[in-house]
Structure 1
Amino acid sequence: MHSRTAKIALVSSHPEVYEPCDDSFALVDALLADRTNLLQHHPSICMEIGCGSGYVITSLAVMLGHEGFVPYYIATDINRHAIRATRETMDAHGVYTELVNTDITSGLEKRLAGSVDVLVVNPPYVPTPEDEVGCEGITSAWAGGENGRSVIDKILPAADTLLSEKGWLYMVTLTANNPSEICLEMRKKGYASRIILQRSTEEESLHIIKFWRDSDSELELNNLNYWTKLVMN
């Protein structure tokens, strides 16, 4: 396997930290499939929301390697044990990231507004009772509330604030999350989108969606809304 692929080994685990599973592997595979575009993109800042074990952000850093530019990496997690696990994983692979123990991007919006070129997110997407959302420990890694959208719907506006003009967002979603509706919501904010990987497991059907700013998407949506209102009237 090529030295710039994302085959990494975890060196740290904790009972309260979500270990890589099918969703993590799918997200890394999607990033790897898009690696040529990522290299040409020359991101200055790469960020992960909800880093867990550190598998995804470390994989991204390893696959980009030393190709004439070194992005600044930053990752957040609401779980303090995940922060420690990510630090140990990244240290073992000789890469560095700034780690912030916070909820989504709380406290970072002003500092990072409009500056993140690559944002990766494997959010809590499993449909659960709302009172499980934001719980301490490992439950926070998967509890997504009604339709699995409670945390996703908070991440999307945060991503819009943080992403640069050339920023890309890669997000894991489940069929139950209604990915087409998520794409429509982002289209209203001026983003185009594409499902770059689909994977079905015994338990779930995953979609990895890539979003990027595209003024034409917002224009098309405005035109569609105009003609819809015109016809209805």
Structure 2
Amino acid sequence: MAGTTTRPVARGRRLISLPGVYRPQADTLLLQTALAGEDIGPGHHALDIGTGTGAVALRAAATGATVTAVDTSWPAVLAARLNAVRLRLPLTVVHGDFDAAAAGRRYDLVTANPPYVPSPDRELPTRGANRAWDAGADGRGVIDPICASAPALLRPGGVLLMVHSAMCDSDRTVDLLERGGLDARVVARRDVPWGPVLRSRRAWLQERGFAAPGEQWEELVVIRGRYT
């Protein structure tokens, strides 16, 4: 297909990525690693929020679980569907908001790689590639709604795995999940070099207190919440 590329993911597999679709990066791999530690397989139901190319959703589907993936980007929905066909894995991919996609259903596992980069634009973008990373003035424009919805998305004993930057306050994420009745904690961390988006906002991030002068590394975290 013209304009497509393939990108490496774990275990040597390569996924198709369309223009404007978030490609698997360090946060994707960190979330996949956390997923590998969960007890999930046939008979389990999973929801992947912000699926992008489908990298995390397809890893869950490979266990035999029944997986629904959701994204607000039509190119991402198409890419995930193409990758499911290419890898011969059953995957339901839905376009739209994750609450609407869930439609009252509850899951054994919810995975999420939401937009989490603080942005000078307080409003969440509605189009363009930056929908995959821009998340409002504090970087929590999508994280907070996921935290609020987690109790309604999970079955008793169900698990949420969400990756985001420590820059947008992992302690707050843990606190919000615990207020909703989840047993929450950070289960994985990884330092990665700043990418081009953060570098382009260095002065603004420093002015707002998100970064120290000369800072060049970003800490990624995976937060696990178990609904009790």
TM-score, length of structure 2 as denominator length: 0.80
Aligned to 1:139, the other structure's residue is in SS state: helix
> AA paired with 1:7?
R
Question: What residue in structure 2 maps to residue 227 of structure 1?
Answer: none
**In the TM superposition, what is the alpha-carbon distance from 1:129 to its structure 2 partner?**
2.8
Question: What residue in structure 1 maps to residue 204 of structure 2?
Answer: none
- Asked if residue 59 in structure 1 is aligned to residue 30 in structure 2, the reply is no
Aligned to 2:115, the other structure's residue is in SS state: coil
Q: C-alpha deviations, 1:95-126, integer Å up to 9, x for none? A: 1111110023225333x1xx200000001011
Q: Structure 2: 5+ residue runs without aligned partners?
A: 1-8, 195-217
Question: What residue in structure 1 maps to residue 117 of structure 2?
Answer: 126
- Asked if residue 47 in structure 1 is aligned to residue 47 in structure 2, the reply is yes
Q: Structure 1: 5+ residue runs without aligned partners?
A: 65-69, 215-233
Aligned CA distance change for structure 1 residues 90 and 199 (closer, same or farther; 3 Å): same
Name whichever of 77-86 and 52-61 sits farther off: 52-61
* Percent identical residues: 28
- Asked if residue 137 in structure 1 is aligned to residue 151 in structure 2, the reply is no
CA distance in 1: counterparts of 2:162 and 2:46, whole angstroms? 14
TM-score, length of structure 1 as denominator length: 0.78
Q: C-alpha deviations, 1:24-57, integer Å up to 9, x for none? A: 111111212x14x335xx6521110110011111
Does the CA contact (< 8 Å) of 2:15 and 2:55 recur in 1?
Answer: no
> AA paired with 1:38?
I
- Asked if residue 72 in structure 1 is aligned to residue 69 in structure 2, the reply is no
Structure richer in helix, relative to its length:
1
Structure richer in strand, relative to its length:
2
Aligned to 2:190, the other structure's residue is in SS state: strand
Aligned CA distance change for structure 1 residues 159 and 130 (closer, same or farther; 3 Å): farther
Aligned CA distance change for structure 1 residues 175 and 13 (closer, same or farther; 3 Å): same
Does the CA contact (< 8 Å) of 2:159 and 2:225 recur in 1?
Answer: yes
**In the TM superposition, what is the alpha-carbon distance from 1:180 to its structure 2 partner?**
0.9
- Asked if residue 97 in structure 1 is aligned to residue 88 in structure 2, the reply is no
Aligned to 1:38, the other structure's residue is in SS state: coil
Aligned CA distance change for structure 1 residues 140 and 77 (closer, same or farther; 3 Å): same
- Asked if residue 20 in structure 1 is aligned to residue 21 in structure 2, the reply is no
Question: What residue in structure 2 maps to residue 228 of structure 1?
Answer: none
Larger Rg: 1
**In the TM superposition, what is the alpha-carbon distance from 1:59 to its structure 2 partner?**
1.7
Aligned to 2:40, the other structure's residue is in SS state: helix
Q: How does 1:75-86 map to 2 (within 5 A)?
A: 75-86=69-80
- Asked if residue 108 in structure 1 is aligned to residue 99 in structure 2, the reply is no
CA distance in 1: counterparts of 2:60 and 2:102, whole angstroms? 21
CA distance in 1: counterparts of 2:81 and 2:61, whole angstroms? 13
Question: What residue in structure 1 maps to residue 197 of structure 2?
Answer: none
Aligned CA distance change for structure 1 residues 201 and 55 (closer, same or farther; 3 Å): same
